[in-house]
Structure 1
Amino acid sequence: MTASRSNNDVQVAVIGFGPSGAVAASLLGARGISTLAIDRQQGVYGKPRAIAIDHEILRLFDNLGVAERVLPHVAPFPASQHFGAQGQLIRRIDMVQEPYPLGYTPTMVFTQPPVEAALRDHAASYPGVRVELGTELIGLEQDAERVTLHLRDAAGAVRVETADYVIACDGASSGVRQQLGIALDDLVFDEPWLVVDVLVNEDALGKLPQTAAQFCDPARPTSFIIGPKNHRRWEIMLLPGEDPRVMEQPEQVWSLLARWLTPDDATLWRSASYRFHALVAHEWRKGRVFLAGDAAHQQPPFIGQGMCQGLRDVSNLAWKLEEALHGQAGNDLLDTYGEERAEHVRQLTSRIKAIGHVICERDPERARERDARILAEGGGQPRTITRQEIVPPLQRGLLALDTPAAGILFPQPWITGATGPALLDKVAGGGWRLVCRAGSAADTEELGAAAAQAGLALVRIGVGGLLERDGVLDRWFAQQEAVAAVVRPDHYVYGTAADAASLSLLLAGLRARRSVSHQT
């Protein structure tokens, strides 16, 4: 679908072309929205920073058609074992079991440089997306109709372009956020850590833990992550008095890794000191400018959700901008971006902080008490929780919150067919959808017309419709005590219905809310 044109140079400008900016540009390009993406750096940073993604993000990549280019650089994220102050196992954090709810391995590790390069190349492949690297935003102003951008290219030439909207994906030190005067709310987490990436020799891999690990040792809390192939990462807490710049030097790094490896066992790929923060922008939108990714939030890394959060941001925003550019929505819908994402980020950051405080306990006595408490929660045995339990649903915004499952991700089962199994999104497409159990109380003769009137594609699952392979949706509908679900373009459930009458009310409520948004 081609978005309606405007009098501005582009409809959307994306500032920053890291993973969030590249995916934003792809999402816009796929919708036919004319887009300018800029970044002041000329190329992809050659060393890893993010290391984890999840099934929601791989679903997004697959929807865009870039998953096949990403998958060679991705591997499953194994269970993370947490060891207490005495080195004893106190709990595990793992992924949900098969059949996987979204069709993909729920949690994965990846190598960032080639993945980021693939995301950039894909974004640039859309005819409506113009990418300019080595270009810096030096100022902006906006009025009721446009944002005016002052740009400087690599040669120092300055020019002006205009856009209907701007998405600022320009990182933790976001110049756009600063120009807009948007403050960051401090969620009170500030710890110095050293992040070390190594490429381990094949004959030394057996020396290392065979699963991810959190060493909750009060003497030196440390995380160990198994990356793709021979990539291994340590995140090591720095102690009071240690100079971060000194600690990231090779001789100090190898001293910290001596418990596991020697310099003969591996190549040091990267060592960088950071302060892990928990910060969320006080405002996510100012007029026609939106913050996304690290420009809007920073969080501790303990379950690998930093990059995922940025990609959730742009996935949430892109379809709303499309509706606004088509004249199908106004400020009410655009305001739900910050409403939904800010609350989700705050909730998840609070949960990550709680995990971080467990890991970072430095007092030996309190660490022993922590270990006893965690083991007691498992009845005296290490219990397993899933990373998917930790990520919350959306809890406000464009949702029918009085219905079960509103705000959670809609499953994606494997669908059987004459040419073999395929994931639901490939068969049924995206956009607004009404997914119904075929033959259920809600599956009436009038259902197709009612869905079309509400602007929804009808997807019928079961005998008489699409047949799923593993019963994922059957179990999901039963668990939610529902027979139909309205699903948004970002795959979050707007609301559910148990029968034809409740579905009629759900669709009427959606039509009314979208009509109000259109009028504002």
Structure 2
Amino acid sequence: MTDIAGAIDYDVLVVGFGPTGAVAAGRLGRLGHRTLVIDRLTDVYDKPRAIALDHEIFRHFDNMGLTEAISPHIEPFTASEHFGVDGQLIRRIDMVAKPYPLGYTPSMVFSQPAVEAELRRHARSFSNVHAELGVELLGLVQTPDRVEAQLKDGDGRQRSVTARYVIGCDGASSTVRQIAGLGLEDLIFDEPWLVVDVRVDENAIARLPQCSAQFCNPARPVSYLIGPKNHRRWEIMLLPGEDARQMERPDNVWKLLAPWLTSEDGELWRAASYRFHALVADEWRNGRILIAGDAAHQQPPFIGQGMCQGLRDATNLVWKLDHVLRGVSSDSLLDSYTAERKQHVIELTGKIKAIGQSICERDPAAARRRDAQILADGGGKPLLLTRQEIIPPLRAGCLSYREMPARGTLFPQPRIARGAASGLLDEITGPGWRLLIDGRSNDAASILSLGLTRADMSVAAIASAGMGCANALEETEGVLASWFDRHAVVAAVVRPDHYVFGTARNATELGDLLAEVDLRRRDVPAGQDRIPDLKMERTP
């Protein structure tokens, strides 16, 4: 397409068709926005990279209608057992117990090539999403109402397209980030590792650990992960003086795997050396250009949150872009994207770094002190953590101005009785703005009446069987009742990405909260215009 007589070709140009770009394009497509997604590669990379996802991300996949397509490629994540200097168990990281707070297994492993193919297929299923592969971004020209992108096709032909916004989902070496002049902040972690993926023969699987594991041996720290089916992954720290490329050679890989497997026990699927970094972009937006996924941040892989962070970016950004493109909110709402996601990434990366630095300790005396401290923290027993408690809430951005219980946390998803069966809450309310009410509250009926005046929100009161107001939905496991009791509130306003905007203890507080939603969602600061008349081109 070309820009004719002032028309703009697309609402959004997505650069990069990996998981983050595919989710962004699919969500934009479902919302009806004209979207072009490009990638310089012509197909899905056929080796596994990301291996873990969590219930927040699976909830988004379910909202997108992808559960049936991707479930064959996903399995529960086993607990991760951490072993100290002498091979003793010092720490165990598991998932939260049932009933699961979001309705799904909290931690999962998946096969990236198969899941990524389904994400692409889903995005392409929308007539308003156009995908072009083998296409390279050369430059961007930004003006107050659009961005013009210079593209190069696989045959070398150059052309330009225009879009109202550009999202760079084009990886750690992001061209979009470089063009937009968005710098990276070093969060100080840089370690060389070798990642090895093996398809293990059935007769050898029983000899391997039955849980994922971290071998915190100062001689050479190693991570072991159980992937779907017969996929097993080892992440092996490289030592000073070892040449990363040489260590990728199959003969050297099998030497490193000798404590567990021989070359007769399976097929070497991938061996790739990486430097595990901790980086975050200073800013995630320059006018109409935004970045997401690895373009915006990189973190060590020790609790499997790398891809999850990218998909949180996409989901956070798309609902805000939808509001702006539909005229519900001003362009300044997009400033909350950096405010929310950058702080979340920095906080989570700090926790991951602490775990990684503990695992990577090379000094034997310091490693023994580490083991003793972790056991002491567990009361003399292996310390038990859940992956879910490591994930922080949102702390700033498009949230209530006031401090209140549960603000910025993920809202739970209870199972709701539907005749003889049950279904999940999102199936009833949808994933837009929602007002959820404790149906057991004495003033539930009046709060429900107040909520029903809102045409822009799904509204529902929820209670256990026989304990709620007449119009309450019936939850089957007490997940939401427990949540309301824990936070001592009777209502919650929830955003389209399932984060709690704010909560209320009574009808008066709810009225104030709903007024604040309108103010924050419009987010129109007077006299501000962030969109510069700026020409930006790729540095040769």
Aligned to 2:538: none
Q: How far apart, in 2, do the equivalents of 1:479 and 1:334 lie?
A: 32
2:408 counterpart of 1:418: no
Query: SS in structure 1 opposite 2:315?
Result: helix
Matched residue type, 1:494: F
Greater CA drift, 339-348 or 132-141: 132-141
Match of 2:513 among 506, 509, 513: 506
RMSD: 1.3
Q: How does 1:127-142 map to 2 (within 5 A)?
A: 127-142=127-142
Q: State the SS of the aligned residue for 1:517.
A: coil
1:487 matched to 2:487? The reply is no
Match of 2:533 in 1: none
1:179-227: per-residue Cα shift (whole Å, max 9, x none)? Answer: 1121100000000000000000000001100000000000000000000
Is the CA contact (8 Å cut-off) linking 2:94 and 2:385 kept in structure 1?
yes
1:454-494 per-residue CA deviation (whole Å, 9 max, x = no partner) reads 83221111233211110100000000111100000000000
| 1:212 aligned partner | 212
1:50-71 per-residue CA deviation (whole Å, 9 max, x = no partner) reads 0000000100000000121111
Deviation per residue, 1:44-91 (Å, 9 max, x gap): 000000000000010000000012111100010000000001110001
Match of 1:405 in 2: 406
Residue deviations 1:388-424, cap 9 Å, x none? 0101000111112411000000001111112621111
> Take 1:515 and 1:244, find their aligned partners in 2: how far apart are those partners?
51
Match of 2:272 in 1: 272
Contact kept? 1:93, 1:385, Cα under 8 Å: yes
Q: Which residue of 2 aligns with 1:3?
A: none
- Which stretch of the first structure deviates more once superposed, 446-455 or 473-482? 446-455
**Aligned positions of 1:137-152 closer than 5 A:** 137-152=137-152
For structure 1, which segment, 217-226 or 453-462, has the greater mean C-alpha deviation from structure 2 after superposition? 453-462
Cα deviation, 1:221-258, whole Å, max 9, x if unaligned, reads 00000000000000000000000000010000000000
Q: With structure 1 as the length reference, what TM-score do the two structures score?
A: 0.97
Judge conservation of contact 1:434–1:456 (CA < 8 Å) in 2. yes
- Structure 1 gap ranges (5+): 1-5
Q: CA deviation at 1:331?
A: 3.0
Q: Which residue of 1 aligns with 2:358?
A: 358
CA-CA distance at 1:153 after TM superposition: 1.1
CA distance in 1, matches of 2:219, 2:262: 21
Please state if 1:169 is matched with 2:176: no
TM-superposition CA deviations, 1:82-133 (whole Å, max 9, x none): 0001110001000000000000000000011011001000100011100001
- Provide the secondary structure at the position in 1 that maps to 2:392: coil
Q: How does 1:62-211 map to 2 (within 5 A)?
A: 62-211=62-211
1:55 maps to: 55
Q: In 1, distance between residues paired with 2:154 and 2:491?
A: 53
Instruction: Tell me, in whole angstroms, the C-alpha distance in 1 between the residues paired with 2:182 and 2:495.
Output: 29
% of aligned pairs identical? Answer: 59
CA distance in 2, matches of 1:62, 1:170: 25
Which letter maps to 1:467?
A: E
Measure, in 2, the Cα distance between the counterparts of 1:325 and 1:105.
35
Aligned to 2:289: 289
CA distance in 2, matches of 1:339, 1:468: 35
Equivalence for 1:349: 349
Deviation of the 1:376 alpha carbon: 0.3
Q: How far apart, in 1, do the equivalents of 2:87 and 2:163 lie?
A: 56
Q: Equivalent residue of 1:280, what SS? A: strand
Aligned length: 515
Are 1:456 and 2:423 counterparts?
A: no
Hey, what's the Cα distance between the residues in 2 that align with 1:470 and 1:176?
46
Distance 1:479 1:276, change over 3 A: same
Alpha-carbon deviation of 1:443? 2.3
Q: Is the 8 A contact 1:149 1:160 kept in 2?
A: yes
Contact 1:441–1:483 under 8 Å retained in 2 = no
- The Cα of 1:450 is off from its aligned counterpart by 4.4
Q: Label 1:188 to 1:516 Cα distance change in 2 as closer, same or farther (>3 A).
A: closer
Q: Tell me which amino acid in the other structure corresponds to 2:305.
A: Q
2:33 maps to: 33
Query: How big is each residue's C-alpha offset from its partner over 1:311-358, in whole Å with a ceiling of 9 and x where there is no partner?
Result: 000000001001101111113311000110000000000000000000
* Residue type at the aligned position of 1:479: R
Q: Secondary structure at the match of 1:467?
A: strand
Moved more, 450-459 or 428-437: 450-459
Q: What is the CA distance between 1:453 and its match in structure 2?
A: 4.0
Letter in 2 for 1:385: L
State the alpha-carbon separation in 2 of the partners of residues 27 and 21 from structure 1: 10
Tell me if structure 1 keeps the 8 A contact 2:330–2:522.
Answer: no
Contact kept, 8 Å, 1:344 with 1:393, in 2: the verdict is: yes
Is the alpha carbon distance of 1:423 and 1:193 closer, same or farther for their aligned partners in structure 2, counting shifts above 3 Å?
A: same
The 1:504–1:154 alpha-carbon spacing in structure 2 relative to 1, beyond 3 Å, is same
Distance 2:490 2:90 in 1: 40
Q: 2:328 — aligned with what?
A: 328
SS in 1 for 2:472: coil
- The letter for the 2-side match of 1:55 is H
TM-score by length of 2: 0.93
Aligned partners of 2:441 and 2:156: how far apart in 1?
A: 64
Shift in alpha-carbon separation, 1:470–1:75, aligned structure 2, 3 A: same
Equivalent AA in structure 2 for residue 465 of structure 1:
A
Residues 462-471 or 213-222, more deviating: 462-471
